[in-house]
Amino acid sequence: MNYYSLNKKAPDTSFANAVIKGLAPDRGLYFPKKIKPLPASFFKNIDQFSYSEIAFEAIKQFVSSDIPESKLKTIIEDTLSFDFPVVKLNDHISTLELFHGPTMAFKDVGARFMARCLGYFNRDNNNDVTVLVATSGDTGGAVANGFLGVKGVNVVILYPSGKVSDIQEKQLTTLGQNITALEVDGVFDDCQDMVKKAFLDESITSNMQLTSANSINVARWLPQMFYFLFAYKQLHHHHDDIVFSIPSGNFGNICAGMMAQQLGLPVKHFVAANNANNVVTEYLKTQDYKPKSSVQTISNAMDVGNPSNFIRIQEIYGNDFNTLKTYLSSYSFSDEETKQALKEIYDLYNYIADPHGAVGYLGCKSYLKTHKNAHCVFLETAHPTKFLNVVEHVIQTKVALPPQIRAVMDKEKVATKISNYEDLKAFLLKS
């Protein structure tokens, strides 16, 4: 499988090189040259396959011969060491819980898969690789945990000061070893811009090998297809018209669902549920794509004003606006609406959601107003205890801390403060 740059000004490359480089030389995101649908019999008989077998069938064409099949199966087994349950709320709405991994966020899947792929590619390399990643919340903790102790890999995480939850900050600043956290005086988009700029700075790249573990990296992005397939396995006997509502920030998650659709997953529609950072919601109304500065919300992992992966979504649907609208709806919701949804979910269904899941739930409700026969699944992307101040205040109930969260609560934060790109550059070059 070869990959091409969506900026169309760089040579095609392999899966391995796309993972190691992260971004193409022309600053474009890599995209697979072709997508071969799985046979219809695969989905008809999906009950016969384990999660690991489903994941292997979904990902193997994108990895190709860069990783031997036996090793790829081991990587998948290691990645999927936790469950992905669907919880029914009512006849038309369910939630897919993606928080049962080590850092209690959906990004555990992509981070663990990428870490193991990069570890394999770097197995005989004496030169270290530096994973440079920006986070608006959960990416940092998932990447830190996924890459902790991986031979020959150093991780540098940029996060916006004061704009991630206390627990999220603990998860990315307390591990030590090969993990370093940089606390940025700015917003997530500033962090992401710094990362992208570093990749194009020859004074850095000539001295060290950089790669990214954001969803711009194909090994972080593509494995997110897995859990859409897992949800289908759990639901297809009971519902014909399954729709996914995805809390959307950088749009890697929903884009992965659309890739699963390209593989043949019998899902006709997706809902991008936005908070106040609603660039895509406005685009689908106006056909005018206007990135803007991100604003801070209680669903902070979605505080992205210029989502990187939207260009991949456009590519999937042939850069045709009308085709895109056939498969994608988008709605945006305020913090106050999100809080009301948290309370409603708890009061009606005795279910504790996190703020991102609550936005996804609101996306379901909006879509179902005009599609009454659909069954809408919203993604519960992080455990509610990551947002205790918001959740407990809204539902007026104490939420028990799971072991994964208790393990980091009392650890000491270690982070280096930076203000601008020159600070980042100086830090990298002295590392």
pLDDT of residue 138: 76
| Residues paired with 129 in a beta bridge | 153, 209
Q: Give the pLDDT band (50/70/90) at residue 2.
A: very high
pLDDT of residue 217: 92
Q: Give the pLDDT band (50/70/90) at residue 200.
A: confident
The average pLDDT across 391-413 equals 89
pLDDT of residue 239: 87
Are the C-beta atoms of residues 156 and 183 closer than 8 Å to each other?
no
Kindly report the average pLDDT of the chain as a whole number. Answer: 93
Q: Give the pLDDT band (50/70/90) at residue 215.
A: confident
- φ/ψ bin of 152: left (φ > 0), alpha (ψ from -120 to 50), beta (otherwise): left
Candidate from 23-37, 131-145, 263-277 with smallest mean pLDDT: 131-145
Which H or E run includes 211? strand 209-211
pLDDT of residue 149: 86
Residues 6 or more apart whose Cβ sits within 8 Å of residue 336 = none
pLDDT of residue 125: 76
pLDDT of residue 122: 82
CB atoms within 10 A of CB 280: 22
pLDDT of residue 124: 78
pLDDT for residue 128 is more than 90: no
Residues 6 or more apart whose Cβ sits within 8 Å of residue 276 = 295, 297, 332, 334, 335
pLDDT for residue 126 is more than 80: no
The average pLDDT across 270-277 equals 97
pLDDT of residue 140: 82
pLDDT of residue 49: 97
Are the C-beta atoms of residues 231 and 96 closer than 8 Å to each other?
yes
Are the C-beta atoms of residues 378 and 364 closer than 8 Å to each other?
yes
SS3 311: helix
Domain positions in the chain are: 74-106+221-399
The average pLDDT across 16-39 equals 93
Q: Give the pLDDT band (50/70/90) at residue 371.
A: very high
pLDDT for residue 91 is more than 90: yes
For 74-106+221-399, CATH number out of 3.10.129.10, 3.40.50.1100, 3.30.930.10, 3.40.50.10470 equals: 3.40.50.1100
pLDDT for residue 317 is more than 80: yes
The residue from 21, 73, 107, 411 that is catalytic is 107
pLDDT for residue 381 is more than 90: yes
The average pLDDT across 106-128 equals 88
High-pLDDT (> 90) share of the chain, %: 72
pLDDT for residue 386 is more than 90: no
pLDDT tens sequence across 142-151: 888 888 988 8
Residues 6 or more apart whose Cβ sits within 8 Å of residue 339 = 298, 358, 390, 394
Are the C-beta atoms of residues 145 and 408 closer than 8 Å to each other?
no
The average pLDDT across 125-141 equals 83
Q: Catalytic site residue 73?
A: no
pLDDT of residue 241: 93
The average pLDDT across 102-113 equals 92
Candidate from 45-54, 76-85, 248-257, 398-407 with smallest mean pLDDT: 398-407
| Residues paired with 153 in a beta bridge | 129
Residues 6 or more apart whose Cβ sits within 8 Å of residue 211 = 19, 20, 21, 22, 118, 129, 130, 131, 132, 217
CB atoms within 10 A of CB 209: 16
pLDDT for residue 247 is more than 90: yes
Give DSSP secondary structure letters for 138-196: HHHHHHHHHHTT-TTEEEEEEEETTSS-HHHHHHHHS--TTEEEEEESS-HHHHHHHHH
The average pLDDT across 282-302 equals 92
- Rounded Cα–Cα distance for residues 60 and 37 (Å): 12
- Rounded Cα–Cα distance for residues 141 and 152 (Å): 19
Are the C-beta atoms of residues 213 and 179 closer than 8 Å to each other?
no
Residue appearing with tokens 């009392």:
410
Are the C-beta atoms of residues 113 and 55 closer than 8 Å to each other?
no
The widest CA-to-CA distance across the chain, in whole angstroms, is 59
Task: Sheet with 2-5: list strands edge to edge.
Answer: 13-14, 2-5, 30-32
- Rounded Cα–Cα distance for residues 12 and 202 (Å): 21
Task: Give the side-chain half-sphere CA count within 13 A for 49.
Answer: 19
pLDDT of residue 167: 86
Candidate from 21-35, 199-213, 377-391 with smallest mean pLDDT: 199-213
Q: What is the DSSP letter of 8?
A: S
